[in-house]
């Protein structure tokens, strides 16, 4: 459910943009956003259990648009359920169940229109539906990766490692996870609203010297997040005020001072609240993700000294490397059943000609793949200006290059990757 009211809170730094500004770049997609919207196009059939692939076509409409702008899409899907999110998932299940019953009653009353509206609210995206979309994408040479846990953290990892220059989502949580550049509300034409991590201090109206990304994240968490409730009566505005008033950096001390900072007498911050807050913070910082290059599980950010994955089961219980890899490829469902036999190896044959100069256009599973890196200062890139569509498609193993295509010289390297440089 993200952070309630965060996007309106950030309206000052949300800028209209178009995905064509990222020609030649890689864009990672929060696939379940599209899947859920696409499922509305065929809600009756899905609810009735009939076969339909209308939701696949809905998503491919976006994919094809991205390809038409010479953009390399990476589809990112949600994986296993996160212990930290137990409450939220329970709420969602109850909501779907409520709507299922409501639909049945309305149908008995003969109110077909209302019944359909309720029915629409109880459909769920199954792993089989996600697999159908992955197959359709792979037929077009589009990379897919299933996160070990939340797609949120996986997308942030792709952003921070310079694999993806833009993240496409509808979920405000992605901002807290530390993505550099996010496009919200992108329509089928490619228009959307862009937000950049480097602008967050402006939204809080804090000077650079006093701003830290930690403060921003604490502000959001104080107003309530999927992993932890807010303090009663505290929303984004008051949380922002509190974070502006303190120069403290210790989370525990900040939390204890909240009633004083906001001058709220009958507000107590229990020890349980503080410990829950820290677990939630660790879930944002250290949730397990899958690194496609090393093909291993890794925390989104490096653990502090002395901390191990076993210490943070709530941020994703560790799983075996092979399990994580097969899950990432979409070959294994979250229960551990084998559901496909996709082998990324053959794709490395698409390593030809100009892809030596653009290894970031290869499949992320290709041994020769290299991330493109960060766009300097988070600006919308103007390079490469006219790299032909043929190069991208060719690199992705789709079409042949034109015989007399004019070639640009190799581009200067972009800013090297430096994880966490913005903190």
Q: Which residues bind DNA (CB under 7 A)?
A: 1-8, 30, 32-33, 36-38, 40-41, 43, 54, 58, 78, 89, 92, 117, 120-121, 150-152, 170-173, 223-224, 226, 230, 232-239
Nearer to Mn ion, 70 or 152 (CB): 152
Residue 170 engages Mn ion in binding (rule: CB under 5 A): no
Please return the burial class of 391, using the count of CB atoms within 10 Å of its CB with bins 0-12, 13-18 and 19+. buried
Where helices occur in 25-120 by DSSP H, the ranges are 31-40, 43-48, 54-68, 86-108, 112-120
Q: Residue 85: count other Cβ atoms within 10 Å of its Cβ.
A: 18
Minimum separation from the CB atom of position 158 to Mn ion (A): 15
State which of positions 373-392 bind Mn ion (CB under 5 A).
Answer: none
170 binds, among DNA, Mn ion, none (CB under 5 to 8 A by kind): DNA
DSSP state of 250: -
Minimum separation from the CB atom of position 1 to Mn ion (A): 7
Q: Which of the ranges 52-60, 81-89, 163-171, 177-185 carries the binding residues for Mn ion, by CB under 5 A?
A: 163-171
Minimum separation from the CB atom of position 321 to DNA (A): 25
Beta strand 15-18 with 26-30 is: unpaired
269 binds, among Mn ion, DNA, none (CB under 5 to 8 A by kind): none
237 binds, among DNA, Mn ion, none (CB under 5 to 8 A by kind): DNA
From the centroid of its chain, how far is CA 164? 11
d(CA 197, CA 182): 9
Closest CA to 167 of 179, 154, 178: 179
* Residues 357, 410 contacting (CB under 8 angstroms): yes
Q: Residue 300: count other Cβ atoms within 10 Å of its Cβ.
A: 23
36 binds, among Mn ion, DNA, none (CB under 5 to 8 A by kind): DNA
Alpha carbon distances (Å) from 309 to 316, 318, 414: 8, 6, 33
Pattern 251-280, Mn ion, x by CB under 5 A: ------------------------------
Nearer to DNA, 192 or 371 (CB): 192
Residue 70 engages Mn ion in binding (rule: CB under 5 A): no
Q: What is the 3-state secondary structure (H, E, C) of 346-363?
A: HHHHHCCHHHHCCHHHCC
132 binds, among Mn ion, DNA, none (CB under 5 to 8 A by kind): none
Residue 171 engages Mn ion in binding (rule: CB under 5 A): yes
- Facing residues of 296 across strands? 291
Residue 78 engages Mn ion in binding (rule: CB under 5 A): no
Minimum separation from the CB atom of position 16 to DNA (A): 13
Minimum separation from the CB atom of position 221 to DNA (A): 13
Q: In 132-269, where do the E strands start and end?
A: 143-146, 166-169, 181-184, 191-196
Nearer to DNA, 201 or 350 (CB): 201
Residue 173 engages Mn ion in binding (rule: CB under 5 A): yes
Q: Using CB under 5 A as the criterion, which residues of the chain lie in contact with Mn ion when the complex forms?
A: 152, 171, 173
């Amino acid at each position: 459910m993200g952070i309630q009211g965060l996007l309106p809170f950030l309206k000052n730094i949300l800028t209209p943009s178009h995905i064509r500004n990222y020609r030649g770049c890689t864009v990672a997609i929060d696939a379940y956003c599209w899947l859920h919207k696409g499922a509305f196009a065929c809600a009756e059939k899905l609810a009735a259990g009939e076969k339909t692939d209308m939701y696949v076509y809905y998503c491919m409409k976006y994919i094809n648009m991205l390809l038409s702008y010479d953009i390399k899409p990476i589809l990112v899907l949600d994986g296993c359920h996160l212990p930290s999110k137990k409450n939220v998932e329970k709420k969602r299940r109850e909501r779907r169940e409520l709507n299922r019953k409501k639909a049945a009653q309305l149908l008995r009353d003969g109110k077909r229109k209302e019944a359909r509206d309720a029915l629409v609210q109880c459909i769920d995206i199954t792993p089989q539906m996600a697999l159908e979309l992955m197959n359709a994408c792979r037929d077009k040479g589009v990379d897919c990766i299933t996160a070990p846990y939340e797609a949120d953290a996986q997308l942030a990892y792709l952003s921070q490692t310079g694999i993806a220059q833009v993240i496409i989502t509808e979920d405000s949580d992605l901002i807290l996870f530390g993505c550099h550049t996010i496009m919200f509300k992108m329509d089928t034409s490619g228009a959307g609203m862009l937000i950049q991590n480097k602008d967050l201090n402006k939204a809080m109206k804090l000077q650079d010297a006093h701003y830290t990304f930690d403060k921003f994240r604490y502000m959001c968490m104080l107003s309530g997040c999927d992993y932890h409730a807010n303090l009663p009566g505290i929303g984004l505005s008051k949380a922002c005020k509190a974070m502006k008033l303190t120069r403290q950096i210790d989370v525990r001390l900040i939390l204890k001072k909240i009633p004083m900072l906001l001058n709220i007498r009958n507000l107590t911050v229990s020890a349980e609240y503080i410990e829950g807050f820290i677990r939630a913070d660790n879930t944002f910082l250290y949730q397990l993700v899958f690194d496609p290059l090393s093909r291993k599980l890794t925390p989104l950010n490096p653990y502090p000294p002395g901390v191990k994955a076993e210490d943070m089961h709530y941020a994703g219980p560790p799983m075996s490397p092979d399990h994580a890899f097969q899950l990432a490829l979409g070959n294994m469902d979250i229960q551990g059943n084998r559901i496909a036999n996709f082998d990324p190896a053959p794709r490395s044959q698409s390593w030809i000609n100009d892809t030596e100069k653009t290894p970031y256009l290869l499949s992320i599973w290709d041994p020769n793949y290299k991330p493109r890196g960060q766009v300097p200062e988070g600006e919308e890139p103007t390079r490469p200006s006219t790299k032909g569509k043929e190069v991208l498609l060719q690199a992705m193993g789709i079409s042949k290059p034109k015989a007399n295509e004019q070639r640009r010289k190799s581009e200067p390297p972009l800013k090297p990757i430096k994880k966490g440089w913005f903190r």
